[in-house]
Structure 1
Amino acid sequence: MAKPSGRTAGASRSAAPNGTPDDPDSRPKRFMRSALAILGETGRTDFTVLEVVERSRTSLRSFYQHFSSKDELLLALIDKIMSESTRRWREETAGLPATDALRMLVDQMCTPAESSTQDRVNRGLTNFNDRLAETLPQEYARVLSGPNALLKEIIERGIAEGTFRADLDVDATAALILQTMLGSMRLQMLGAELTGTPIEAEQIYTFCLNALRASASFGSKAAD
């Protein structure tokens, strides 16, 4: 899962420049900040809508004017985090050789959290992602469309540079690499390492790079 900044997680109730409470258009952000703060404290997504409302100092009526359920709020939060992160990753990888861009993306997505607060956020959102993938697969795919598109761009760049194999099926390979990273992140966050040793970002990068450079048929288009 993408890493929201500590500033976002710890944001306090904001106010309009004139000192009055936030206007209605800003309330969705307040609800998302409140949910993120609760996640940072508990690492759980089983909090109630009422907890979010009390934290944001608004009302249930206001909440349901913007979100139909807590799940919809969490989906909006994940979508916002992933969109902002992908925008930043695209800026950081622009102009880099494909191998360096891939390394930077893996490092950004797969390096363990630097704080206990961020670790709790990641764990909570990872658990929610599992449920989202099962109950709302189309919405989950939309959330992941940003990093998936960026991976496709990096692969296409590598093919153009001659670094990656020209016969790669870009769509399938990008999806496979993204799922490899997400799966490895889940094992890191949930402490369910199969080998008993944490999988490092460098190992994930090497695995993905070998797949892109290997002579095997991984990710390649089927022969005519």
Structure 2
Amino acid sequence: MERSTRAATLRAEQRVQRFLDAAQELIAEKETTDFTVQEVVDRSNQSLRSFYQHFDGKHELLLALFEDALSATATEIRLATADVDQPLERVRIAVEILFEQSRPRPGLERPLFSDFALRLQIEHPDQVATARLPLLAVFTELLAEATSSGVIPINRPRNQAFLVIQTITFAARVNDVAINGDGHRVTIDEVWQFCLGGISGA
């Protein structure tokens, strides 16, 4: 019975992944999230009935892709900081990775972040908060470690982690707009120095 249940769960996961892969391919081709559920179904070679067994609609599918992307970023941060000895250096690496993953890139459309995420932030902030939990967890851990080592004087690392993530993602996503007349754009070093000042109380 247990083996049968595991096999059924695996098949369901595989079906879900095929829908996610199909949607990701469509986003890459169209450079937008403007596609239909039927297109996803056709691309995945599955049925419409199967789609609605796993997702309530297109919004839930995009949300799953968004959550996967943020979870992948959190995993990348953990891997990149695992062998770094200095706690504050680990925080800096995390800030840089999130900034790079969040900013618009010339010739590379990222509509999940530039379109969907911005609408989601306005219309469903609770879903954004849930999607960001893996990122919040890793930043909280890194700041807590830096606090324990005496490098920074933070009493509430989770709150500070939330503010740091908000700062990074906002700065990254509006960075394609010059902030003054000389065409200057915010650099990753400026973002890091700003975050460092906030978490160190400088």
Runs of 4+ off more than 3 Å: 22-25, 112-116
Which among 177, 183, 198 is matched to residue 192 of structure 1?
177
> Could you tell me how far apart the structure 2 residues matched to 1:140 and 1:102 are?
22
Query: 2: CA distance between counterparts of 1:76 and 1:106?
Result: 24
- Alignment of 1:156 onto 2:141: no
User: Which of 166, 185, 188 is matched with 1:179 structurally?
Assistant: 166
User: In structure 1, how many angstroms separate the alpha carbons of the residues matched to 2:39 and 2:178?
Assistant: 33
| Contact 1:99-1:209 at 8 Å conserved across structures | no
- Cα deviation for residue 76 of structure 1 reads 0.8
User: Do the aligned partners of 2:33 and 2:116 also contact (CA within 8 Å) in 1?
Assistant: yes
What is the alpha-carbon distance in structure 1 between the residues aligned to residue 157 and residue 33 of structure 2? Answer: 35
Q: Distance in 1 between matches of 2:13 and 2:82?
A: 33
The answer to whether the Cα contact below 8 Å between 2:66 and 2:112 also exists between their aligned partners in 1 is no
What TM-score comes out, normalization by structure 1 length? 0.75
**Equivalent pair of 1:156/1:170 in contact (CA under 8 Å):** yes
SS at match of 2:41: helix
Say whether residues 1:99 and 2:84 are aligned partners. Answer: no
User: How far apart, CA to CA, are the structure 2 residues paired with 1:25 and 1:169?
Assistant: 37
Q: Paired residue for 1:82?
A: 70
1:128 maps to 116
| Letter of the structure 2 residue corresponding to residue 82 of structure 1 | L
- The verdict on how the C-alpha distance between 1:53 and 1:204 changes in structure 2, with shifts beyond 3 A counting, is same
Structure 2 unaligned segments of length 5 or more: list them.
1-9
Task: Kindly provide the CA deviation profile for residues 35-87 of structure 1, in whole angstroms up to 9, marking residues without a partner as x.
Answer: 11122222211211111112212221221111111010011111122223312
Deviation at 1:113, TM superposition (A): 6.6
Distance (Å, rounded) in 2 between the aligned partners of 1:152 and 1:37: 33
For normalisation by structure 2, the TM-score amounts to 0.82
Asked if residue 47 in structure 1 is aligned to residue 32 in structure 2, the reply is no
In structure 2, relative to structure 1, the CA distance for the partners of 1:172 and 1:35 (3 Å cut) is same
Alpha-carbon distance in structure 2 between the residues aligned to 1:34 and 1:132: 21
The 8 Å contact of residues 153 and 199 in structure 2, kept in 1 or not, is answered as yes
Shift of 1:114: 6.9
> CA separation of 1:139/1:114 partners in 2, compared to 1, >3 Å: closer, same or farther?
closer
Q: Tell whether the 8 Å contact from 1:102 to 1:205 is kept in structure 2 after alignment.
A: no
Measured in 2, the distance between the counterparts of 1:212 and 1:68 equals 40
CA displacement at 1:186 relative to structure 2: 1.2
CA, structure 1 residues 185+42, in 2 after alignment: closer, same or farther (shift >3 Å)? Answer: farther
If each structure's helix is expressed as a fraction of its own residues, which one has the higher value? 2
C-alpha distance in 2 between matches for 1:51 and 1:201: 38
Take 1:134 and 1:44, find their aligned partners in 2: how far apart are those partners? 19
